[in-house]
């Protein structure tokens, strides 16, 4: 195993399921009905307590992430209740990265200043677009002016670490519009930009509209061109492309998301939340009613769990590594006792998909566009198991 992995440190994710309006494309668990809001907070505090009782070790939390849903619908008093529960059961690092996702239409100078006073030091704004018709198509509750104003208010409140979410590949969207959205985001000088292509997820209203023919998805070639544009534009403007959809100024990578992508430990609380700890993954019920009911009976609201096999761990590690544009060959060898076939790596280099430096396979911009395919091909026949050496004695 990798020697520098600290199993006493975890990331914490809090899933706040409430939205003012469910987005057209969203497949995360969220609800518009806030009737059980107080019951949710009581249950959340109880879940944190029950988790701690079931683990003799007191963990240190060096990242905390409030996601959803729309966590910025919670008041500072409600956020404080959650933070107090976390600090009662976890040692929160003095330099912990603490993020809250915000809809630009739900924040004010007062709310942002209150979040800052509670120790939140990173904001993630779901901007998505600066065009009103695109925001309306996505059923966002904010307009472009509110997005710009939200960033200005965040700066005034003292935030120095801000992410903006953008979305491209919308039906009918042009390259020019995608470029304008990127330019609008960069103009606001955020430390981080997450740029995602619109994915038609089963079970969403968007999926139903596409299936019925009312919405025609953007063609793949235009979407691919938009991805190339996103990579080149943001890199030219000083952003490092460190994950397939994420770009940051130097030193501002999202530490919490890096835990997911580097197969590190994290524990999550709230309905539908997923956790990963010591090779075990579990996830909560995707129903606020059932979540509250379980915790009212002092029962953890776990829907299912699994212990990952060694093959699953390797495949997941490879997929997540490639999402970050690399394969760390040394970690692969030390942690899993496997290596990638040399001729496969040579083929990647020869075809312009990657270069090799200091025991790392580094994807080129061209390689990023086919990272999923590379992961599939490696997992198939291009991984070789190394013999485990037994110590004498």
Q: Are 236 and 182 in contact (CB under 8 A)?
A: no
Q: Is the pTM of this model over 0.75?
A: yes
* pLDDT per residue as tens digits for the range 260-312: 999 899 999 999 999 999 989 999 999 999 999 999 999 999 999 999 888 88
- Determine how many CB atoms are found less than 10 A away from the CB of residue 346: 12
Give the confidence band of 393 by pLDDT, cuts at 50, 70, 90: very low
Cis amide prior to 69 (ω within 30 degrees): yes
Single out the residue of 164, 231, 169 nearest to residue 198, CA to CA: 169
Confidence at residue 367, expressed as pLDDT on a 0 to 100 scale: 93
Helix (H, G, I), strand (E, B) or coil at 300: coil
pLDDT higher at 148 or 341: 148
- By the 10 Å C-beta count (0-12 exposed, 13-18 middle, 19+ buried), 244 is classed as buried
| pLDDT score for 149 | 98
pLDDT tens digits along 351-371: 999 999 999 999 999 999 898
* Both tokens assigned to 51: 């988790």
The residue among 14, 129, 132 whose CA lies nearest residue 74 is 14
If 0-12 CB within 10 Å is exposed, 13-18 middle and 19+ buried, where does residue 95 land?
exposed
What pLDDT sits at residue 383? 73
For the chain, what is the largest distance between any 2 Cα atoms, rounded to a whole number of angstroms? Answer: 72
| Across 151-171, average pLDDT | 98
Residue keyed to tokens 């497949």: 27
Task: Read off the pLDDT of residues 67-93 as tens digits, 9 standing for 90 and up.
Answer: 999 999 999 999 999 999 999 999 999
- Encoded tokens for 8: 């006493």
Q: Alpha carbon of 116 to those of 100, 120, 146, 160, 213: distances in Å?
A: 10, 5, 20, 11, 46
pLDDT number for residue 8: 84
Would the pLDDT of 391 be above 60?
A: no
Q: Which tokens hold the place of 200?
A: 């038609």
Where do the domains of the chain lie, and which CATH numbers do they carry?
Answer: 9-261 (3.20.20.70), 310-385 (1.10.10.920)
Residue 166's beta-bridge partner residues?
A: 128, 195
Q: What is the mean pLDDT of residues 26-40?
A: 92
For residue 264, CA distances in Å to 302, 322, 324, 351, 353 come to: 20, 16, 14, 32, 27
The whole-number average pLDDT for the span 185-210 is 94
- Give φ, ψ of 94 to 5 degrees: -60, -30
CA dist 235 and 229 (Å) reads: 10
Q: Quote the tokens at residue 384.
A: 């070789």
pLDDT score of 22:
82
The answer to whether the peptide bond before residue 15 is cis (omega within 30 degrees of 0) is no
What average pLDDT does the structure give for the chain?
92
């Amino acid at each position: 195993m990798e020697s520098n992995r600290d199993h006493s440190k975890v990331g914490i994710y809090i899933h706040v399921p409430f939205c003012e309006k469910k987005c057209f494309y969203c497949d995360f668990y969220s609800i518009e009905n806030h009737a059980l809001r107080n019951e949710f907070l009581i249950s959340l505090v109880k879940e944190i307590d029950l988790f701690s009782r079931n683990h003799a070790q007191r963990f240190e939390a060096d990242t905390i992430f409030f996601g959803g849903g729309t966590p910025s619908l919670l008041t500072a008093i409600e956020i404080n209740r959650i933070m107090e529960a976390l600090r009662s059961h976890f040692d929160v690092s003095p330099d912990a990265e603490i993020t809250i996702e915000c809809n630009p239409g739900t924040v004010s100078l007062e709310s942002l200043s209150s979040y800052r006073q509670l120790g939140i030091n990173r904001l993630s704004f779901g901007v998505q677009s600066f065009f009103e018709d695109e925001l309306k198509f996505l059923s966002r509750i904010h307009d472009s002016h509110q997005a710009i104003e939200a960033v200005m208010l965040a700066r005034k409140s003292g935030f120095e670490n801000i992410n903006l979410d953008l979305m491209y590949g919308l039906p009918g969207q042009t390259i020019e519009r995608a470029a304008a959205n990127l330019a609008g985001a960069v103009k606001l000088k955020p430390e981080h930009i997450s740029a995602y292509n619109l994915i038609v997820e089963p079970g969403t209203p968007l999926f139903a509209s596409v299936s019925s023919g009312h919405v025609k998805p953007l063609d793949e070639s235009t979407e691919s061109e938009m991805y190339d544009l996103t990579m080149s534009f943001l890199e030219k403007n000083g952003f490092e492309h460190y994950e397939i959809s994420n770009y940051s100024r130097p030193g501002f990578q999202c530490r919490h998301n890096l835990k997911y992508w580097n197969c590190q430990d994290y524990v999550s609380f709230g309905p539908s939340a997923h956790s990963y700890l010591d090779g075990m993954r579990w996830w909560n019920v995707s129903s606020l009613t059932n979540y509250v009911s379980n915790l009212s009976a002092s029962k953890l609201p776990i829907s299912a769990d699994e212990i990952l096999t060694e093959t699953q761990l390797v495949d997941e590690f490879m997929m997540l590594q490639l999402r970050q544009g690399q394969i760390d060959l040394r970690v692969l060898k030390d942690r899993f006792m496997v290596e990638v076939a040399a001729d496969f790596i040579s083929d990647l280099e020869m075809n312009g998909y990657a270069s090799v430096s200091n025991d790392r396979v580094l994807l080129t911009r061209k390689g990023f566009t086919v990272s999923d395919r590379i992961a599939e091909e490696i997992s198939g026949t291009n991984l070789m198991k190394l013999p485990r050496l037994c110590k004498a004695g």
